[in-house]
Amino acid sequence: MAILTLKDITKKYLFKNSFFSFYSGEIKAVDGVCLELEEGKTLGLVGESGCGKSTLANIILKLIEPTTGEVFFNGKEITQVREKEFRPLRRQIQIVFQDPYSSLSLRLRVKDIIAEPLEACLMEKNKILERVKELIAQVGLGQEYLVRFPHQLSGGQRQRVGIARALATSPRVLVLDEAVSSLDLSTQAQIINLLIRLQEQYKLSYLFIAHDLSLVRFVSDTVAVMYKGIIFEKGPTEMIYDNPAHPYTKLLLNSIPSFEKSLKNRKDRYMIKQDFSLNKSEKFFGCSFYQNCPKPMPCCEKQMPGLKEIGKNHFVSCFCYE
């Protein structure tokens, strides 16, 4: 059974061109996203910058409210729940934020940063320090870091503090928003191994948001590909990586640098030719990938294709498979 289910999540942002203009448009940061995260599994979410991955993460954490749609945690709808009633659930859903510089309170010492979620769920005082020491060791930092302030740490060290903080309450769902991107490779491996070990031990579920496609392949059980707020393709990791169906997924996977062939010589390398005026215009109802698609069809210009199951649990949103 899925521990976390997103149903038709849409988040619209209104914008004004200038202070005096009456015209205001809207941007769909997230557009009709449906995802399921199975208990004890990892869902990889990939997509380029600005495609709405972090917005989605914040919606799951109930830090921003979706315009429409529902989020089910453990079978319970949470977007409509009031903050006060949701608070006990917060210890079960935690997040590691993307930016390790701004997301740590600059006036708290590391030990207080990690201890705070524990205090919030009313853990006994004498147990807290023990737990904090255990956590800081788990993410590979020495005990001497406990009394430091965030500004005395490097980006990678801060990120590890963020991870320790997120793990503190032993959450059931952990959203990792580019959590290991800022770490060096050896630390990255250490953290990934820690996450995998915790997953095996406690049946944790991860929503792994990243742009490192090889890493996503390594950790994820299922993968979802997002583009401009829309899920283009989702399915079991092996199926997506070995047999990508959507042209965007193909382009993404082709962009992974490899030793065999250099990027320059590849004919099908991904070229972005984004036209933002088209993106903002409300008249365009076609596929959002239409402009960049290598094989556009006439029907792609008229409407957005829906998700269609083409293999077992493998969904694609493209007219090529209609």
Partner 1 sequence: MLTLFLRRLFMLIPLLIGISLISFLVIHCAPGKPTDMQLQLNQKVSLQVRERLEKLYGLDKPLMTQYVMWVKRLIRLDFGNSFIDNRPVIDKIKERIPITLTINILSLMLILIIAVPIGVLSAVYQESLFDRAMTVFVFIGFAMPTFWLALLLMKFFSVTLQLLPVSGITSIDFENYSFMGKVIDYSRHLFLPIIISAFTGLAGLSRYMRTSMIHVLQQDYIRTAKAKGLTMAKVYFYHALKNALLPVITILGMSIPGLIAGSVIAESIFAIPGMGKLYYDAVMSRDYAVIMAILVIGAFLTLMGNLLADLAYFIADPRIRVGPCE
Residues within window 86-115 making contact with partner 1, judged by CB under 8 A:
87-88, 90-91, 94-95, 97, 99, 102-107
151 forms part of the interface with partner 1 (CB under 8 A): yes
**Do the beta carbons of residue 263 and residue 257 sit within 8 Å?**
yes
Cα 3 to Cα 208, 217, 310, distances in angstroms? 15, 21, 24
Measured from the CB atom, is 164 or 300 closer to partner 1? 164
Residue 63 or 137: the one with the smaller Cβ distance to partner 1 is: 63
Residue 158 interacts with partner 1 (CB under 8 A): yes or no: no
Angle at 85 between CA 199 and CA 202, to 5 degrees: 10
Nearest CA-CA partner of 244 in 273, 210, 268: 268
39 binds partner 1 (CB under 8 A): no
Query: Which of 5, 58 has the CB closer to partner 1?
Result: 58
Query: What single-letter DSSP state applies at residue 212?
Result: -
Q: Do the beta carbons of residue 308 and residue 321 sit within 8 Å?
A: yes
Residue 83 touches partner 1, criterion: CB under 8 A: yes
> Closest distance between partner 1 and the C-beta of residue 204, in Å?
17
Which of residues 157, 169, 182, 237 is near partner 1 by CB under 8 A? 169
Q: Out of 47, 117, 235, 247, name the contact with partner 1 by CB under 8 A.
A: 117
Tell me how far, at minimum, the Cβ of 9 lies from partner 1, in Å. 18
Nearer to partner 1, 102 or 258 (CB): 102
Q: Is 181 in the site for partner 1 (CB under 8 A)?
A: no
- Which residue of 11, 111, 131, 165 would you call a contact of partner 1, by CB under 8 A? 165
Residue entry with tokens 């495609």:
51
Angstrom distance (rounded) from CA 4 to CA 172? 10
Q: How far is CA 215 from CA 119, 232, 288, 322, in A?
A: 34, 20, 27, 31
Nearest distance, CB of residue 304 and partner 1, angstroms = 31
159 or 317: CB nearest partner 1: 159
Identify residues 42-61 at the interface with partner 1 (CB under 8 A). Answer: 58, 61
Q: How many other C-beta atoms lie within 10 A of the C-beta of residue 17?
A: 11
Q: Is 148 in the site for partner 1 (CB under 8 A)?
A: yes
Distances (CA, A) of 249 to 54, 177, 254, 268: 19, 20, 8, 12
Residue 290 binds partner 1 (CB under 8 A): no
Tell the smallest beta-carbon distance from residue 167 to partner 1 (Å). 12
SS3 call for 196 = helix
**Nearest approach, Cβ of 62 to partner 1 (angstroms)?**
9
Place of tokens 């309450």: 169
Residue 63, interface with partner 1 (CB under 8 A)?
Answer: yes
At its nearest, how many Å lie between partner 1 and the CB of residue 141?
A: 16
9, 216, 244, 257, 271 from 260: Cα distances, Å: 40, 21, 20, 9, 20
Tokens of 307: 């998700």
Q: Which residues of the shown chain bind partner 1 in the complex (CB under 8 A)? A: 58, 61, 63, 83, 87-88, 90-91, 94-95, 97, 99, 102-107, 116-117, 120-121, 147-149, 151-152, 162, 165, 169
